[in-house]
Amino acid sequence: NERKALTCGGASSFEALETGRRRGEGANTGIGKAVARDLARRGARVILACRDQQRAEAARQDIVKETGSSQVLLMQLDLGNLQSVRSFAENFLKSESRLDLLINNAGVADRGKTADSFGLNFGVNHLGHFLLTNLLLDKLKASGPSRVVTVSSITYKMGKVDFSCLTTHRDVALGNSDRDAFIKYCHSKLCNILFTYELAKRLQGSDVTCYSLEPGMVNTEISRHGTFFTQVIWTLVGLLFSIDVDSGAQTILHCSLQQGIEHLSGHFFSRCAPLMNMEPKARDDATAKKLWELSETFCGLS
């Protein structure tokens, strides 16, 4: 039954691709690793797409040891470098015959810029995933029914999309303090939701569905490269409110594997259920369309 759930309508194999990021949370740590382990245990061919190859290889070996699967692979990907995203997509399309599930799980809450001079949170959390998904869409369509799952956060409620700031400064907000970094993270998580919302519209009539979600407050390593103050805050919040990584992985797995949710494409999930009372800014058609078009311009797709 597990295998049938994974094979997506009778396909001969099930291939899952999960993104990761060295300076935050991704496929080689936390909930990303827990998701990869679960998929491997079910018999999926899992590709971990990560920047830090040393940490990712250690994670891959752990997953192989725990699951007995020989179908856990590792590929180089830096979502903070658009050329790296293009190179990854080119190599993936050459080497892999199908893609049933793309999990956009990389996340960073930090200061700084990407290799392309975008704000780090916006560049990694939104723009890198945006380009990667678009470059792999034809493969996803050819492998259908398939899914795109993007990990966001309930902190989207504190986010906004400032197009003037994006156009002028290539970032979602100004400032370089710890507080500014957190606010930028919130903005980027709203971008994740708007991206999924617009993507669902553009995928209508295809066999590809997409979902965004919040995994809950999971005690991960997302702040490990932040300042001492940032790490203390995240640690205190985690001790008070966090859940373990296996519990945090459940909504990702639900959106990835649950049959019968195809009609909910574009929705935001929490605790394995769609949230129907989303804030209006997360369902704004004009903002979602404008963000998509600006992201296309930033990525050189338009």
Q: Hey, which residues are catalytic here?
A: 185
Count CB-CB contacts under 10 A for residue 147. Answer: 25
Question: How far apart are the C-alpha atoms of 108 and 124, rounded to whole Å?
Answer: 7
Count CB-CB contacts under 10 A for residue 153. Answer: 25
Reduce the secondary structure of the chain to three states and give it as a string. Answer: CHHHHHCCCCCCCCEEEEECCCCCECCCCHHHHHHHHHHHHCCCEEEEEECCHHHHHHHHHHHHHHHCCCCEEEEECCCCCHHHHHHHHHHHHHHCCCCCEEEECCECCCCCECCCCCEHHHHHHHHHHHHHHHHHHHHHHHCCCEEEEEECCHHHHHCCCCHHHHHHHCCCCCCCCHHHHHHHHHHHHHHHHHHHHHHHHHCCCCCEEEEEEECCCECCCCCCCCCHHHHHHHHHHHHHHCECHHHHCHHHHHHHHCCCCHHHCCCEEECCEECCCCCHHHHCHHHHHHHHHHHHHHHCCC
Residue 202: both structure tokens together? 């553009």
CA atoms within 13 A on the CB side of 181: 22
